[in-house]
Amino acid sequence: DIQMTQSPSSVSASVGDRVTITCRASQGISSWLAWYQQKPGKAPQLLIYAASSLQSGVPSRFSGSGSGTDFTLTISSLQPEDFATYYCQQASSFPLTFGGGTKVEIK
C-alpha cells in the first residue's frame, strides 16, 4: 500500500497568512493526488485534483503543486472560513489512501 504522510499535523495561523501543507507519498504517484478540506461535523470537499487542478467553485487562493512523491497545498491568504482539516489522497493505485490530515487552527 502507498503511505501518505502529511506535515505538519497542525498549524496555527492568522487571517491573511500564507499557509503551506506538505504531503509525501511512500512511492512515486506521478500527479495522481487530490486535496480535500473538512470542517468539523461536515463531509470533506474536493479542493484540488491531479495535484494542481483547482476544482470548480474553489477560491483561487488555494493551489497545489508537486509530482512524484512530494506535494504541496498552499493557501495564499488565509480566510476565516479556511480553518479546517486538510487531507491529501493518492489516486495512483489500490487501495486509495489518505494522509493523516493537517488541522489549520486560528492563532
- Footprint of another protein (CB under 8 A): 30, 32, 34, 36, 42-46, 49, 55, 87, 89, 91-101
Grid cell digits, residue 40? 468539523
Nearer CB in complex with another protein: 62/97: 97
Task: Output the smallest distance, CB 41 to another protein, in A.
Answer: 9
Closer to another protein by CB, 14 or 60: give it. Answer: 60
C-beta of 15 vs 50, nearer to another protein: 50
Is the Cβ of residue 55 or residue 72 nearer to another protein in the bound state?
55
Contact 6, 21 (CB under 8 A): yes
Environment class of residue 36 by beta-carbon count within 10 Å: exposed (0-12), middle (13-18) or buried (19+)? Answer: buried
Closest distance to another protein from the beta carbon of 1 (Å): 8
Shortest gap between Cβ of 99 and another protein (angstroms)? 7
Kindly provide the b/e burial profile for residues 42-63, where b requires at least 16 CB atoms within 10 angstroms of the residue's own CB: eebeebbbebbeeeeebeeebb
Of 26, 29, 19, 27, the residue nearest 72 (C-alpha): 19
